[in-house]
Amino acid sequence: MATTTEQATRTASTRTTPITPSFFKAMFAVVQKDLAAELRSRELLSAMLVFSMLVILIFNFALELEPDIRRKVTAGVLWATFAFAGTLGLNRSMAIEKDRGCMDGLLLAPVDRAAIYFGKVISNLAFMLIVEAIVLPMYGVLYGVNLFQPGLLGVILLGSIGYSSVGTLISTMTVQTRTRDVLLPILLFPIIIPVLLASVKASGGILSGAEFSEILTPLNLLIVYDVIFIAIAFMVFDFVVEE
């Protein structure tokens, strides 16, 4: 009990400390490390891209539908692709940190652990956005749909932020287990369902030319979800990595 109380007190005192320039310096150092490591190995992005392209091609040949119906299923196909590729990327990202011993080094660094969390979120988000930037034109060519619409790109950004913020926290929890490859999607998908449903609804509304009032509700849900879960992860990440 005393140990738990001490941890809670230490975490609370850490969270009340103002975010200083050193916080951002540590955060961007984590991002720079991840991007530099991926630039050398290219194993994470290549796996995500190959998987995404395979999913798009399978859906393209499986759904031999009329052009109008294809436009209606575009949002669902896109977010199914992003979700599966994002889960693969999250799993590999944290597994690489664990296998190489980098996570232990990060935790021993004299920085706020929230900076480590936000650094990992930004790097995972960057990987997702790179994959999405390649998948969108490929999907548009195969399905004959113009996906480069400002509203749709904004929804994709909001959905990717929510997915990366929650996924980074859950993958940090599961990376210590032997069944991390199976456990991550089991824990992640039930929590991430509101983001996926809101993203599909908002994306479908934009592609179908719906009124803004019809898209406002899922957009608000996405924003609220992102804010709430980023705040929750910010508060509990210290406990997660200590366990």
pLDDT tens for each residue of 60-99? 777 766 666 677 788 888 999 999 888 888 887 777 777 6
CA-CA-CA-CA torsion sign (185, 36, 116, 127): negative
Q: What is the pTM (predicted TM-score) of this model?
A: 0.84
Nearest-5° Cα angle at 149, 53 to 81: 25
pLDDT tens for each residue of 120-132? 899 999 999 999 9
pLDDT tens for each residue of 142-160? 877 788 888 999 999 999 9
Domain ranges across the chain: 22-242
CA-CA-CA-CA torsion sign (81, 82, 83, 86): positive
186-213 average pLDDT score: 89
Q: How far does CA 77 lie from the centroid of its chain?
A: 17
* Band (5; pLDDT cuts 50, 70, 90): very low
